[in-house]
Amino acid sequence: MFRILQLTFLMLSASLVFAQSVSRDEIRGLDEQIQDAKKDVIELTAELTQLEEKLLYPSNTQAAFFVSLPENSRFDLEAVELRLNNEVVAHHLYTFRELEALRKGGVQKLYTANVQSGEHPLQVSFLGKSQSGRELRATATHTVEKRVGPAFVEIKIAGEESAISFKDW
């Protein structure tokens, strides 16, 4: 019996995670090639994204809407709805990770539109919960002035006080 277990444990102790079938150099070489491929795809994606923006949202018609939360916000944003020119153009339900990203200072690009130069009514509604669990909802309006260049509008949702504020960038 002793020999049985001894052999067993010798086998256990002899087992190594990485067999000799994969060498360190091979691992390093492949890893470097993968890093190189990632770099290529990042560059390619950046170019493709720019092409896409140029094609689909040229600057003379582009209007982009961004959502942010104020600093130290404890408010749980659950959903946002965007109406542009009296039409619902975007509706978003927030996941936990998205909400955390907003709380950490991230800004969500919620919607990009193509609009003519001139004024466009914007209406933003949100639904959320206060820290105490109370349901909060509010709606605010803003006029987007689209000029020759692209229009960028930041929609800051505070929850409790001055629920929604707009900033044209």
How many other CB atoms are there within 10 angstroms of residue 126's CB atom? Answer: 25
Short-list 109, 114, 106, 116, CA closest to 145: 116
Can you read off the two tokens belonging to residue 114? 């193509």
Q: Does 166 bind other proteins (CB under 8 A)?
A: no
Q: Measured from the CB of residue 78, what is the shortest distance to other proteins in angstroms? A: 17
**Taking CB under 8 A as the criterion, which residues in 26-65 touch other proteins?**
26-27, 30-52, 55-56, 58, 60-61
Among 25, 87, 104, 147, binds other proteins (CB under 8 A): 104
Q: Helices (DSSP H) in 64-138: which residue ranges?
A: 96-103
Q: Is 79 in the site for other proteins (CB under 8 A)?
A: no
Q: Given the complex with other proteins, which of 106 and 137 has the nearer CB atom?
A: 106
Neighbour-count burial of 18, counting CB atoms closer than 10 A to its CB (0-12 exposed, 13-18 middle, 19+ buried): exposed
Smallest distance from other proteins to CB 44, Å: 6
